[in-house]
Structure formats: structure tokens, C-alpha cells
Structure 1
Amino acid sequence: MTLAPLNLFVAHRGRSSRQHITCRNRCGDACSRPAPNSSDNEYFGDIVAAMSRRSALRVGGVAVLAIGAGSVLAACGTGEKPAATETSISPAAAPDSPAGMRFDSVAVNTEDAVVIPDGYQQRVVIGWGDPVLPGAPVFDIAGQTGAAQRQQFGFNNDFAALLPITGRPDRFLLVVNHEYNSPQFMFPGYDPDAPTREQFDVEVAALGLSVVEVERSPQGGLRPVLGRYNRRITADTPFILDGPAAGADTVKTVADPTGRAVLGTFANCAGGVTPWGTVLSGEENFHTYFGSAEGTALPDPDKAKRYGVLAEPSEHRWETFDPRFDLGATPNEVNRFGCVIEVDPWDPASVPVKHSALGRFKHEGATVHVTDDGTVVVYTGDDERFDYMYKFVSANKIRPGDTAHNMRLLSEGTLYVATLSGQNPGSGTWIPLLHSGTDVAESLVDGFTAQDVAVFTRLAADRAGATKMDRPEDFEANPKTGKVYVALTNNDKRGTEGKPGPDGANPRNENKNGQVLEITDDHAGTTFTWDLLLVCGDPAAADTYYGGFDKSKVSPISCPDNLAFDSQGNLWISTDGNALEGNDGLFAVALDGPNRGETKQFLTVPIGAETCGPVVTDDLITVSVQHPGEGDEYSLDNPLSHWPDGGGAPARPAVVAVWRDNGNIGV
């Protein structure tokens, strides 16, 4: 079949709907600052620059035209409508939709509700302030305390894992990340210039993770149980730092001269589940919780800048209350964050681990694939404009039933970073950065020690010549085919002055809508091939691509973020910052056969919210609804949303379960 060329000489429609207040609270306003990656390792960009100004790229096997910054392509986001006609935004379920996707698509909307297809039901499982531990007080938004929050479900839930309890078919452990605080939407009368000590204590307790036992309710869905596994992990819970960074001078502090005992985890975004039953969580925008007086001298200012760490007051002002967050008083504390952590949810007394062998950067998450011989491969993205894709390959093999052995697998192995070449399809190479052993570690980057690579991974990857990507977020390996999928959320600086222009895997200037990359990887090896599954955005626009599927029959998707798979092998995508004038949502995408690229919206979340952490089973779907009602002109005292409780109640982040009356989600 011959496909018409994609045309990039169009005005794009819309900008990300993420609000400025969300950027401030989540990432310290990184969106408004220059991207931290100023390295000149533009291997892929050099290929494009060497081509003529009207270079031929390929998207999904289709020839396209790419042009440099300053062209009409840079009109993306002006609001000008493409010349093509509008596409239907609510296509009916086609009889030939693949198994798992036979539902009626939800239309684009801006409702203050979770909107689901006809024939389905929903229920809030647990929300901010609900009890997690026995004896937790009733949530009182006007009388919050740190002590109470330590017993209650935390704020801004993101990644979620649903782990079956052996021998209890209707019982599960729900493990949830709490990514960041939005104090303007947490506290009545909040003053960002003068937060109180009690507010600080609440914020420390509201981050981290919640482990909650849940059960299937007679009405459907899930409900929490105050079970023996329940636990809150917070921003001051003790952790063990292992791997090459442990004991490094750059992670030692006065409180921890060993450099091996870290208090807390925060900025936890996506994550993953290991085959041995533990949960991984990625520390992402950790830098936003550290600050200092303006102009404080930092010991390694260039290294700090590469991580977005600046000598200025932080957005949350935590440095006002605890010197470990003061860059002047405790400059090494920030170097102890930005890890993949591992939590054993089956042992509430266990000490979680920070795995420095997987590198230190802004991990969106960490997802596991196991090869036929038992080698463990962990994929993780660095969620920043122009940053990189990584994987870790274990040196040892899984031993079924040996949890102690298996929890060492992520401490010994090789860390790689990706370079991509070609147009589309293209190829790639995994460049080794660091080998971690039982007693010793070896740097594989000239000029870096093993400890340097583990603590300042971004700089080592710069030196290695990694390919700059459009915000690599979640990775997921298809359990049926082994192919790996990567959500590249957006990058509005691509092709702007002084920044790399388009390339095969990142094909658009000022990319507002993102894309999804499909990788066929030699999982334990060093080579892969890639192509583009989706180039997201308005299906009526000439620069979008939906796997070759008829674009008049898809739901429009923008800003892909988290990924999941169903048992049929369909890909499910949640979105963050939809640039198409509607609420964020959850979408199913067919990957094979004549339906490849068919995209259908299963649900939307309330106004101002982001869709996070989808879990997709045959008879139940859960999503985390993060920051409902978060808007620049709003606050707890001036609410945009009242979800989920309705009436005049304040908006609360929460986890929602969706199910079908006949017990089968998508057939």
C-alpha cells in the first residue's frame, strides 16, 4: 500500500495544556528554563544538518519533509488550524477492532469527571487523605498535620502497581507513587513566600509511596483494606544506597559520613514491577526540592547545572526548615537523589534500596524485561528535553523463589545509553557506560571514574555521544513480542535557535504532541532497530501518523506519557498535557495486522488533571488521576475542580477503577 507523504510544512495546532503552576510545583519551572543538556554530541543531528534544508526524513516508511527552525514549521502552537478538514473525535467501535479494544471511544471533552464508555462502571479506590494505616485520623483539610499525613494516602498519585496476593483471588497490594506536592491546592490560604513548619511537615509526609491492601468489592471495582502489608514511605524514610555511588565522596554528608544511608524518596514518577515481586520507582524531578540563598557557591556548579540544580530559593522552600535541603549547608545531599529505588511491599519492615548501578538522572520509571536465559534488562528514560534512553543488563540470572538473590540483580551488571541512526526505520547501538560488580565497578567512559558515572550519569552519557531525544518517558516491553515501546512526550525546543533540529526518531520542530517509538532490541546485546509507531497530534494534520491506520477513524492523542499492555498485546497509553484542547486520557492502540495504529480513547480524566499509572487487566483498569483542577488562576480557595467528591468539596488526587458489567474489559 502506498501512503501519502507526511507534510511538515503546516501550522501545528495547540500547545501543551500543562499549566505553569504544575511546572513550578513538579519540576521547578524547568519548562521555562533552558534545557540542561548543552553538550555538542549531536550525532543524529549532524546527519540531519549535513542534509539539505529540505531534507528527506521517513516516518513509518513514508517520505516526509523536515525544515529548520525559523520556518513555517515553527508556527506550531499558534492556534492556527491546519488546512485539512476536521477529523471525527468520537469514532464508534468498529466490528473489526482487535480483541481488548472493542469499546466505543470516549469523545474529547473538558468535563470535571472521569468519562468512560457506555456499559462500564467506575469507582474511586483511594484518594489523598484516606486512611492507609490503622488508627489514621479522618482527613481534615483545614487541620492537616505531618503526623496525620504519615498515616494517610499521599498526594499526587502517579505510577501504580496491582500485585495479586497468593491464595486470595480477590485481594491485591496496590503500590502507588506520590510524585510532587501542589501546596496551593493542599492548604487553605497558602502563602508561597512564607510556608509554615506544619505545611513543610505535611509535604514531607505526602510524598514517597503508599502500599495499600485492596479487595474486589461486591459492587465491582476495588476498595482499600487496613491490612498487615499497608505502609507509607515518605521523604524521610531510611534507604540504603547501593552500587558504585555508595561511599563516594560526592554523596557523603555530615549526617551520613558513610555515604550509604539516605533519608527519603520524592519526585517519584513512573516505575515497574519485578518478576520477584518487588516494585521499582524512578526519582525524577528531585532537584526542585533543593535550594539556597541566591548566588550561593556550589562545589561543582557545572555538574549541578546539568541536573537543573541552581543556587536560588526552591519552589517549595524546604531549605527553610531542614538544612539537608539547603545547597549551601549540605551540598552533597542532592547527589543522593535521582535513583531507581526498589521496595519490597511484602515486608513492611524492609529497608528500601536506591540502585546507583542504574545511573542517576531524572528517571521517569524503570521497567523490566527478562530474556529466555533469565537475564534481567531494565529500561529507563531521562525525562528532560534532549536527554537520553538507557538500559541496564544484569550480570546474573533470576533464581525463582530466591528473593534475596534477585534483589541483588540490579546491583551487578552493565549500564548502557542509546544512540540512534538512520531515518525511519533506523538502527541503534547501546553504548556501555558502567560495569558494576560484586566488589568493584568499572567506568567504561574515558575521563570518568566508576563513582563519577554512577553519580553524574548525564555527563558520562554526554561524553559517550548519546542521542538527544524528545523527553523519553515510560518504556514498556510487549510481553507477547518482546518489542520495546518508548513514549516521547514532547519537546517544544526542538529546532529552535541553537538546538538540534528534527531527525528520524524526533521528526518535528517545536514538537508539542510527541511520538511513540517502537524498538526491536537485542535485549541483552548492544544493537537494535527502531521505527515510529505514532507521531501524535490532530489526525487531520498532515504531520501526524497513526501506524498507517486510517486517520479518520482514530481518537486524537497528544503527549504520550505512561505505557501498559493488556493480555491481547495491545498498547495502552496515558497522556500528560494534551495539546488538542481536551482533557488528558487513556488510549488503546493496536500494534499488529491491518489495525496497526488504530487508536481509541478509553477514558478521560477531570479538568486540569493528568492520567497516570495505568494498570490494565482482563476485567479491570485502574488509573491515577493526578492534580485535578490544577490551573494557573486557581487554588484550594478558588477551585476549578471538585472531583471526586463533588459539591463544594476540594479536588483530591485519587486512584480510579473501571470495569464492565459482563466482567470483560475490551471484548
Structure 2
Amino acid sequence: MALLPLNLFVQHDGKSARQRVTCRFKCAEACFHPAPNTSDNEYFGDIVRQALSRRAMLRSSAVTVLAVGAGSALAACGTDADPGAASSSSAAPAEPVTPPGMNFAAIAPNSEDVVVIPEGYRQKVVISWGDPVLPGAPVFNVNAQTGAAQRQQFGFNNDFAGLLPIEGQANRFLLVTNHEYATPQFMFPGYNPDAPTREQFDIEVASMGLTVVEVERGPDGLRPVMGRYNRRITADTPMTLTGPGAGTEFVKTAADPTGRTVAGTFANCAGGVTPWGTVLSGEENFHSYFGAPEGAPAPEGATAARFKRYGLKLEPSELKWEDFDPRFDVAKTPNEVNRHGYIVEVNPWDPNSKPVKHSAMGRFKHEGANVYVTDDGTVVAYTGDDERFDYMYKFVSSKKVQPGTTPEAMAHNMSLLDEGTLYVAKLSSEIPAGEIDGSGTLPAGGAFEGSGTWLPLLTSGPNGQGESMVDGFTAQEVAVFTRLAADKAGATKMDRPEDFEANPKTGKVYVALTNNSERGAEGEAGVDAANPRNDNKNGQVLEFTDDHAGTTFQWNLLLVCGDPAAADTYYGGFDKTKVSPISCPDNLAFDSHGNLWISTDGNALDSNDGLFAVALDGPNRGETKQFLTVPLGAETCGPVVTDDLVTVCVQHPGENDENSIDDPLSRWPEGGNGTARPSVVAVWRDGGNIGV
């Protein structure tokens, strides 16, 4: 195996490595078009010009709050040269000792067409696109695909994954995955983009949504089982819309005059597993599946503003679904698009249950959603709007979680995300504006840090009742056109907020901010303490200590990603000569030791994407070690990290602008003359746990 030397990554000026073909089908080339957020919300360049007399007080209170849990506040204030600089003790700082869970040999950046893992570990593909999931499903044949077959097979481009233990059955789990998008030239031999067929449309519809499949753990990893819970959810599976948006004039169509039963889910990116055993799936770039014939009359008034804010265009879509089903033609069925862009909750324990779309949690390009439960049972769900200059949100339930798995408890818990308050984040900092110059240079205090407020947008009650907290918006408008309400509220524009995860040991919340090449560009928001670099190619990871059910938080940047040899990067104060380079953080997970694991999407450092472990506390805070890389053209998604097993979703292997299924860049995982197929991979260590 030819590993690339680290010195190849010292000089680079490229953008994200994501190929344009991926952008075309995944997000409708969002990064090649002006960002939909044209609001004039103030940014930190304005906010930091507050009275500096408050600075000492806020710094003191931040340290007090951050110290609760793992005592990392002092380490967070260190500099690259002196990780212990923030300590006021005269004692010598503790020597870094790699924490449990991270004791593996970090792999080097590389461009191999395989999954590369540490020495002493093993791997196996669990399931791939087209593998049978339901009884009677045919064996996958890339040259003989049908929509009917795909409805019984594992879907395409798996992103999020959840691994749920089956009670009473040792080593049995439910593997629940999202299927984000279709890329037809990597699905169909001889694909003609100017004339897609009805069968190809049917296959694409069936390839999206989610898969629930039982898996069994054995000596050779995980293997799928034809179990009673197995299920495919697709882009036309019936779903129930709940909350203030349900039943409104914004979501009624001729096919559904009640506005409460939606056909399907698609563009499903990340997600989360709830404490009550359901799965939350985020509908992200839903707008790209809607189009209209050339010359379709443009919308006017409020509809035009809403379309623009959500990135909708009256022109043929990339996949041309509107040619086969009028519900995807926004000129004919303008309300259909308003029925997508929600958090979807799926009960994987009941194959006959109808998934629920929660409008109380807002409608935007959800990366996913993850739940934290406070000591009194209040449920807090964090979710990001994954687009340049969009926002971070949380939903706080007004009801408490009920323990148990009885039908009554499950019904109650599946209503928790329908009643409560939706908030959007506004960040601030006392760092003088002159110390945030767009270069990413650390401010004099040694850390990018500040405070924040959760601004209320919508309070939802029983039976779809709601109260707007934003002047000029009804509750129904906030639920369906949340982006516009958040603009009005004055939320802070972020650099693509993707996955949120709360540390189960400390309660601190972490957010992956993937990148934003337009930060600081003419006419766009300038830099601020949480988004400190112009032309942000590599992204950052934000850590905040939240008053979970309340409205205030303290924040700091754990990582400012990129080449460790570059001055504009920061690895939590850890010695940057001893870290693995990380770029474009995407999905997050935690292990039982409290280490943060990060998967990447679009690595701008000329290496394949991968999975990294990061230490959060003490002298090792910011230590970053690469655990694996995925094959050429692929993205690392949906990590699950247990004591003795790591799983990742390998999405879009071989996607490259110059290639197709007929002229492949990759043939992983089959090898030989095989087809590149998105897959789930398990990694484990014989005779031992991960990283110990």
C-alpha cells in the first residue's frame, strides 16, 4: 500500500475535494451558487464591539460553567506552543498521555482505493447497495435493475447509521441507515442524462429513504439477517405530518387535501437514535428534487421569496423527476415542496408504523438531529441547517420522556418532538474585532470563545397548536418557512452547521462546521470569532456548554481544521506536530470513554476522507488521530463507535467528474471488474476493544 508522506499536505490551496458531480446530485451545486441567506443579520464584527467592561465577568463565568463535567476550560485557553498555558498553578503541566479509546496507530493520509485501518484491526463490508433486505428480493445485478427489486434491496448512498441492540438477543442489532441521494451515471450503465427512463426514475425513488435490517455480530464482524424488523422506506412511503405546519394551506395538495399525509422522504442526510428507541432522520437538500419545464411562469410575492430562500428554481431539475410525477413540478404543485425539509421519526421496532415528520422542529435543510435528556426528563434536540451562512437550532420539549418500551410509553415519547419550543442560536464574543482578521490567527487570549443566546421562534402545543415568537409571522409560517423567521429573529450565520452531538459524560455539545469558501467574500458575512477564517476551506468544530433547557450557553472552538503546519489551524491547544491532519468535519459520534469521533466530507488536504478520534480534556485536549480512510471518491458518514466495534457508511465511492459506472474510478468493494457500491463497513480488533 502506497501511503502519501505528510509533507505533501504542507502546501495546498485547493477547495473541498468533493467532486462537482457529487454536488450536482447531492445539493444541486449549492456551493456554486449564491447562498440563499441574503439577510442582513449582524455578525460578530458588529457584536464584539460591545462594552469591554463586561469581558472579565463573562470570562470568569465561562470558566465556571465549562469546568463542570471534565475540567477542560483551562486547557481550552492554552496555546499551540504551551498546551497548559491557561493553568494558574505553579506546578508543571501534566504530560500528555493518549486517553483510552485512542490507543491505536494513526494511519497516514493516503489515496488508496480501499478502506485503510490501523495495524492489528480487521474489517468487513456489512451490506452494500442492492443487497437483499426483504424476503424474495433478487440478488443485485447492476445490468438488470428494476424499481420493484430496489424496493426490497439496500438503498443507494447510505449516510447516517444507527445500531440498536435487540433486547434479549445477544449480538443482534437493528442497523438503520439513511439513503441520501441518487447519482444515475454511477447507478445505470449507459445512462443518458438528457433522456432518463421511467424505470430509472422508479429505481431512484426506491433507492432513497431508509433501510432497517437486522444484523448479527460474529467473529467476522456483522452480517445482515432476513429478520422480522427488516424494512425499506422510500421516497413515496406514506408519512404523517404533525405540528403547526400540518393541515395548513401551505402543505395541502390535490393528492392530499388535508395536508397531513406526505408521500415519502428523500435527501436524508444524518440523524440520531433517541433514548426511546426511534430514529431521527434529517431531510436536507430536498429542494433539488423539484423542477419545472423551461419557461414556467415565475412565482410572485411571498411565494417567490420563499422559493428563493430555500434554493428553489423554476427550471428542469438534475434528475428530471418532474417529468414522471407532477408532484415534483413546482409550477403544477407548488405546495409539495413545503411537505419536505423536516425531521422524520421512524419507529424501527414496528415495520408497519407510519413515519412522522415533525413540523414543530422547523423546516430547513436538516443535517440531522440528536437528543439530549436533562435530569428532569426534558428532551432537547439539536439540529443544524447545512448551508453556507445558515443557522444552528434546538428544540426543547414541554413534556417529559417516559421510561420503558410499552406501546403507551412509545406513543407518548413519539409525541415529545411535537410539543415544545424551537430556538435558533445567536453567538457573541468579547474578543476585540481587531483580533479576528480573517487569517485564523488565535486572539491574544489563546482561544476563540464567547457566549450565546437561544432566540425563541415557535412554541408548539397539543393537536398542532402553535404560537409564533417572531413578529410578522404566524405559527404556521414559522413551522413551514423557518429560515425566514430565523432571519427576522437575528440568528448568527455559520459555516455550514452539520452534525450535533452531546457528550454523554459531560453534557457539552459539539457541532461540525464543515466549510464555507464564501466567508468574507464581497457581499457576504465577514469573519467572526466562531467563524474566524476568510475562504474557509477546512471547517471547524465548535464546543458549547449549554443550559440545555434554557436560553444561554458558552462556546469555544475545539478545532480549526486544516494543515497542522499552517498558522490558521488550531487543535485545542495540543502540539500540532503530533496530530493527524483533518479537513471538512461532517458527522460526529462519541465512544464510551468520552472521546469525540469525526468523519469528514470533502477533505481539502489531498487525501481520502476518513474517521478521526479527538481527545477533549486535560493536556491531550485537541489530540487528533486518524482511525481509517475510505476509498477513492468516497465520503465517510454515519460513524458508530462502541467498545469493540466501529462502523462507518462509505458513501459515493468512485464519484468523480471524469468517471461513470461505465468508466469507473473505483471498483470498491467488489474489486476486479466489480461495480463501486456504497456500503456499510465494520472494523474491530481481535481479542481486544477499540483503542485500548
The separation in 2 between residues aligned to 1:652 and 1:48, in whole angstroms, is: 48
TM-score by length of 1: 0.92
Q: Which residue of 1 aligns with 2:108?
A: 107
Which aligned pairs between 1:183-582 and structure 2 lie closer than 5 A? 183-217=184-218, 219-296=219-296, 297-298=298-299, 300-401=303-404, 402-422=409-429, 423=431, 424-439=448-463, 440-582=465-607
SS in 2 for 1:249: coil
The offset of 1:97, in angstroms, is 1.0
The separation in 1 between residues aligned to 2:350 and 2:315, in whole angstroms, is: 40
The offset of 1:294, in angstroms, is 2.8
Query: Given the superposition, is the C-alpha separation of residues 95 and 499 from structure 1 closer, same or farther in structure 2, using an over 3 Å criterion?
Result: closer
CA contact (8 A) 1:95 1:102 kept: no
SS in 1 for 2:46: helix
TM-score by length of 2: 0.88
- Structure 1 unpaired stretches of 5+: 1-9, 52-57, 65-93
SS in 1 for 2:127: strand
AA in 2 matched with 1:213:
E
AA in 2 matched with 1:449:
T
Deviations 1:54-82 (A, max 9, x none): xxxx9964799xxxxxxxxxxxxxxxxxx
Deviations 1:119-176 (A, max 9, x none): 0000000000000001101111111100000000000000000000001111000000
The offset of 1:624, in angstroms, is 0.1
AA in 1 matched with 2:349:
W
The separation in 1 between residues aligned to 2:516 and 2:99, in whole angstroms, is: 32
Deviations 1:550-576 (A, max 9, x none): 000000000000000000000000000
Aligned with residue 592 of structure 1, among 602, 617, 629: 617
SS in 2 for 1:204: helix
The separation in 2 between residues aligned to 1:634 and 1:46, in whole angstroms, is: 46
The separation in 2 between residues aligned to 1:50 and 1:394, in whole angstroms, is: 33
Deviations 1:614-638 (A, max 9, x none): 0000000000000000000000000
| Structure 1 vs Structure 2 CA RMSD | 1.7
The separation in 2 between residues aligned to 1:314 and 1:48, in whole angstroms, is: 42
The separation in 2 between residues aligned to 1:316 and 1:494, in whole angstroms, is: 30
Deviations 1:528-571 (A, max 9, x none): 00000000000000110000000000000000000000000000
SS in 1 for 2:619: helix
AA in 2 matched with 1:110:
S
- Structure 2 unpaired stretches of 5+: 1-9, 52-58, 60-74, 81-94, 432-447
CA contact (8 A) 2:292 2:322 kept: yes
The separation in 2 between residues aligned to 1:400 and 1:588, in whole angstroms, is: 32
AA in 1 matched with 2:101:
G
SS in 1 for 2:156: coil
The separation in 2 between residues aligned to 1:23 and 1:414, in whole angstroms, is: 33
Q: Which residue of 2 aligns with 1:85?
A: none
CA contact (8 A) 1:213 1:230 kept: yes
The offset of 1:18, in angstroms, is 0.2
The offset of 1:301, in angstroms, is 1.1
AA in 1 matched with 2:460:
S
Query: Given the superposition, is the C-alpha separation of residues 449 and 12 from structure 1 closer, same or farther in structure 2, using an over 3 Å criterion?
Result: farther
AA in 1 matched with 2:399:
N
The separation in 2 between residues aligned to 1:448 and 1:499, in whole angstroms, is: 26
Q: Which residue of 1 aligns with 2:626?
A: 601
The offset of 1:295, in angstroms, is 4.1
Query: Given the superposition, is the C-alpha separation of residues 45 and 249 from structure 1 closer, same or farther in structure 2, using an over 3 Å criterion?
Result: farther
Deviations 1:328-360 (A, max 9, x none): 111100000000000000000000000000000
Q: Which residue of 1 aligns with 2:163?
A: 162
| Range moving further from structure 2, 380-389 or 299-308 | 299-308
The separation in 2 between residues aligned to 1:311 and 1:20, in whole angstroms, is: 21
The offset of 1:43, in angstroms, is 3.8
> Does residue 614 of structure 1 match 2:621?
no
AA in 2 matched with 1:164:
P
AA in 1 matched with 2:162:
A
The separation in 1 between residues aligned to 2:689 and 2:571, in whole angstroms, is: 26
The separation in 1 between residues aligned to 2:15 and 2:131, in whole angstroms, is: 35
The separation in 1 between residues aligned to 2:648 and 2:29, in whole angstroms, is: 26
SS in 1 for 2:548: coil
| Range moving further from structure 2, 434-443 or 357-366 | 434-443
SS in 1 for 2:628: strand
Q: Which residue of 2 aligns with 1:140?
A: 141
The offset of 1:293, in angstroms, is 1.6
Query: Given the superposition, is the C-alpha separation of residues 295 and 504 from structure 1 closer, same or farther in structure 2, using an over 3 Å criterion?
Result: farther
SS in 1 for 2:462: coil
CA contact (8 A) 1:48 1:502 kept: no
AA in 1 matched with 2:458:
L
The separation in 2 between residues aligned to 1:294 and 1:445, in whole angstroms, is: 37
AA in 2 matched with 1:132:
V
CA contact (8 A) 2:43 2:528 kept: no
The offset of 1:265, in angstroms, is 0.1
Deviations 1:309-343 (A, max 9, x none): 11111011000000000011111000000000000
SS in 2 for 1:282: strand
The separation in 1 between residues aligned to 2:471 and 2:119, in whole angstroms, is: 59
CA contact (8 A) 1:43 1:465 kept: no
The separation in 1 between residues aligned to 2:503 and 2:353, in whole angstroms, is: 31
Runs of 4+ in 1 over 3 A off after TM superposition: 10-13, 47-51, 58-64
The separation in 2 between residues aligned to 1:239 and 1:339, in whole angstroms, is: 12
SS in 1 for 2:104: coil
CA contact (8 A) 2:637 2:649 kept: yes
The offset of 1:12, in angstroms, is 6.1
CA contact (8 A) 1:120 1:660 kept: yes
The offset of 1:609, in angstroms, is 0.1
CA contact (8 A) 1:485 1:516 kept: yes
Query: Given the superposition, is the C-alpha separation of residues 119 and 11 from structure 1 closer, same or farther in structure 2, using an over 3 Å criterion?
Result: closer
| Range moving further from structure 2, 36-45 or 583-592 | 36-45
The separation in 2 between residues aligned to 1:61 and 1:635, in whole angstroms, is: 48
CA contact (8 A) 2:172 2:214 kept: yes
Q: Structure 1 vs Structure 2: percent identity of aligned residues?
A: 76
Aligned residue-pair number: 622
The offset of 1:663, in angstroms, is 3.1
The separation in 1 between residues aligned to 2:76 and 2:683, in whole angstroms, is: 33
The separation in 1 between residues aligned to 2:401 and 2:120, in whole angstroms, is: 42
AA in 1 matched with 2:37:
N
The offset of 1:500, in angstroms, is 1.1
Deviations 1:598-618 (A, max 9, x none): 000000000100000000000
Deviations 1:270-315 (A, max 9, x none): 0001111000000000000000023422351111110011111101
SS in 2 for 1:426: strand
The offset of 1:14, in angstroms, is 2.6
CA contact (8 A) 1:12 1:541 kept: no
Aligned with residue 645 of structure 1, among 651, 670, 679: 670
The separation in 2 between residues aligned to 1:189 and 1:646, in whole angstroms, is: 21
